[in-house]
Structure 1
Amino acid sequence: MHIFITGGTGLIGSHLCPRLLENHQLTVLTRNLNKATQLLGANILAVDSIENLDFNSVDCVINLAGEPIVNKRWSDKQKQRLLDSRILLTQQIVTAIQHCQTPPHTFISGSAIGFYGRQDNTLIDESFTAINPEFSHQLCDAWEQAALAAQSVNTRVCTLRTGIVLAKHAGALAKMLPPFKLGLGGPIGTAEQGMSWIHIDDMVELILFVLDNNNLSGAINATAPNPVNNKEFSRQLGKALTRPAVIPMPSFVLKLVMGEMADLLLYGQFVVPNKVLAQQFSFNYPTLPKALENLLR
């Protein structure tokens, strides 16, 4: 297949692209053509505008691009930047798909479990509707709605509600490791908030599974099947590093430092991936101890 991917140099994309290249032709949208080629290899075709691509030649689109959500405090200006970086590009892709004579048969677009907003300890699958309509939901919902506009008899649309992606050298885990390695890590706030996570290798395999499984469409939870609360996550991370993990981070300190963005750490969800499990997808790292052992050994 000919696959067009955005966000190919990001955390998920940079792990996904080598797997796609094993069996597919790959075109990557990037702002830096040289960087993309150096990172992903000479076998990709890098383009800096979707106008440089004939979507009639594309079989599948994988849309992962977006401004990192935790890089800056959520001012009104930054919120708009987060929205624009996801929605405007997605709308451009959808327009290109809609104008095709032979459109891509599959459009896989990003989203996040922030779609559900802050929740209690209820297990949440894709059918859950008691949404908390805070900013994280507004962001994800607008992103999903933009992508779903491409849905037709010719194009299947899947939106991946992704959890905390655990990888060795980037992402959330990499940011957690320095204080935990020094024995300064510990629970955050009440420590009862849900942390729905997924190993980067399982994230890649889940995307490949969705790509090949025509029975899957709409919202799909991209999380491991065993979410934990923050207290247990901190305990398991400390155990994997053979370090104590008992120094708490009070809520007011996070709010002082991060503003509204602190809500991402202070509140959470217990999300389960029922759609892919029903289609017999098998996780290599279904439990947190197994995932951390693989990443930190």
Structure 2
Amino acid sequence: MKIAITGGTGLIGGKLADKLHQDGHDILILTRNIKNKQNKERFQFVEWLTPTSSPVSMLQGTDIIVNLAGESIMGRWTKLKKERILSSRLEATTELITIIKELDQKPEAFINASAIGYYGHSETAIFNEYDESMNPNFLSEVTKKWEKAASQATNLGIRTVYGRIGIVLDKGGGALPKMLLPYKFFVGGTVGTGRQWMSWIHIDDLIDMFTFAITEKSIEGPFNLTAPHPVRMQQLNRTIAKVMNRPHWIPAPSFAIKTALGEMSALVLEGAYVYPRKAVQKNFPFQYEDPEPALTNLLQK
């Protein structure tokens, strides 16, 4: 298949592009700057979101579009940062819809990234793809607007998937390296109350779930990209300590996290139990259902 990916040079997009290429697909990566891009022998780079770009002709005949574009949520959430988090997602998604409308033949599917932040936060509720949010916050509002923009593909008769990504466990980036750092210096401990739910996913399972969403034509709408066994933060912290063979003893209280991170502290102090109901119903073959073997794989290679 001919598959176009936005955000194809990021943490998730880069690995997804590699996997899809290995599976024999032709990969086009949409980027603002095609100069000095590596892997030109493996991928075709298409310039977009610039005043001179005209990607429609190169995207003719595309079977699948995967949208992973968006400003990173890591970093202090200043007013400008929050504006970029939202506007970057809406800009990319809206532009893709415009491109799709101009294609002679519409793609079979539009796989749009989203996040489990959609559900808000709760220490008691269990969320699956058929549930609405509780205790909405900044991220839940961003994901709702993001998915609404992507839903225009449905109106064009295209199978549309909102891949709600959980806490990604990957040594190369994302949240895990920051969680590991205190343990490397022997000062790790429970973060916040420890009761907040962490709905996590190993990077390998995440890539396989995106591939599954591409090939499994019965999947549409919200699709939770999480492992089937979320854990509370305290358990995840203790598991990290065990796998790294480090002590778990110095807690990081909520007020200290809020002081250090500001509003972004919600990423680690608030959580939700998010269950991948659709993946389980479709018998998706998880490699890592529990955090200990997942962390062991990542940290003891």
What is residue 60 of structure 1 aligned with on the other side? Answer: 64
Alignment match, 2:28? 27
What amino acid is aligned across from residue 123 of structure 1 in structure 2? I
Q: Counterpart in 1 of 2:219? A: 216
Q: Which amino acid aligns with 1:270?
A: Y
Residue of structure 2 in register with 1:175 after alignment: 178
- For residues 141 and 133 of structure 2, the distance between their equivalents in structure 1, rounded to whole angstroms, comes to 14
Deviation digits for residues 252-286 of structure 1, max 9, x if unmatched? 11111211111111110111100111111010011
Checking the alignment, whether the CA contact within 8 Å between 2:122 and 2:271 is kept in structure 1 is yes
Deviation, 1:153, is 6.2
Q: In the alignment, what sits opposite 2:203?
A: 200
3-state SS of 1:165 partner: strand
Kindly indicate whether the alpha-carbon contact (under 8 Å) linking 2:226 and 2:276 is maintained by their aligned counterparts in 1: yes
Deviates more, 1:116-125 or 1:188-197: 116-125
Which residue pairs with 2:8 in the alignment? Answer: 8
**Greater alpha carbon shift after TM alignment, 44-53 vs 90-99:** 44-53
> Which range moves more in the overlay, 262-271 or 177-186?
177-186
For residues 82-132 of structure 1, the C-alpha deviation after alignment (integer angstroms, 9 at most, x for no partner) is 111111110010111123331111000111011111112322111112432
More off after superposition, 145-154 vs 260-269: 145-154
Give the whole-Å Cα distance in 2 for the aligned partners of 1:34 and 1:95: 25
Code of the residue aligned with 1:85 in structure 2: it is S
108, 129, 142: which one aligns with 1:126: 129
Q: 1: distance between equivalents of 2:298 and 2:194?
A: 23
Q: Where do 5+ consecutive residues of structure 1 fail to align?
A: none
Identify unmatched segments of 5+ residues in structure 2.
none
Q: Which residue of 2 aligns with 1:49?
A: 48
8 A Cα contact 2:94 2:149, kept in partner: yes
CA distance, structure 2, for counterparts of residue 279 and residue 152 of structure 1: 25
Aligned in 2, Cα 1:101/1:34: closer, same or farther, shift over 3 Å? closer
Q: CA deviation at 1:80?
A: 1.0
Q: Indicate if the aligned counterparts of 1:241 and 1:296 stay in contact, CA closer than 8 A.
A: yes
CA contact (8 A) 1:56 1:104 kept: no
In the TM superposition, what is the alpha-carbon distance from 1:34 to its structure 2 partner? Answer: 4.1
Residue number in structure 2 paired with 1:289: 292
Instruction: Tell me the equivalent position of 1:137.
Output: 140
| Matched-pair identity in % | 40
Cα deviation, 1:224-269, whole Å, max 9, x if unaligned, reads 0000000000000000000012211111111112111111111101
C-alpha displacement at 1:160, in angstroms? 0.6
2:29–2:43 CA contact under 8 A, matched in 1:
yes
| AA at the equivalent of 1:255 | K
1:243 to 241, 246, 249: 246
What amino acid maps onto 1:292 in structure 2? L
CA distance in 2, matches of 1:249, 1:59: 47
| 2:165 aligned with 1:166 | no
**Partner letter of residue 252 of structure 2?**
M
Distance (whole Å) between structure 1 residues aligned to residue 279 and residue 101 of structure 2: 28
Out of 235-244 and 118-127, give the one that drifted further: 118-127
Matched residue SS, 2:60: helix
Residue 186 of structure 2 corresponds to residue 186 of structure 1: no
The equivalent of 2:104 in structure 1 is: 101
Which of residues 141, 145, 153 in structure 2 aligns to 1:150? 153
Residue 234 of structure 1 corresponds to which residue in structure 2?
A: 237
What is the rounded CA distance, in whole Å, between the counterparts of 1:255 and 1:173 in structure 2? 19
Letter paired with 2:25: H
Matches of 1:267 and 1:93, distance apart in 2: 32
Match of 1:112 in 2: 115
8 A contact 1:121–1:194 mirrored in 2: no
Root-mean-square deviation over aligned CA pairs = 1.4
Shift of 1:154: 3.6
SS of residue matched to 1:81:
helix
Contact 1:187 1:230 (8 Å CA) reproduced? yes
Change in CA separation of 1:130 and 1:47 when aligned onto 2, cut-off 3 Å: closer
**SS, match of residue 133 in structure 1:** coil
Aligned residues: 294
Q: Contact 1:67/1:82 (CA < 8 Å) preserved in 2?
A: yes
Query: Secondary structure of 1:103's match?
Result: coil
Under a length normalisation based on structure 2, what TM-score does the superposition of the two structures give? Answer: 0.94
Alignment of 1:73-84 (within 5 A): 73-84=76-87
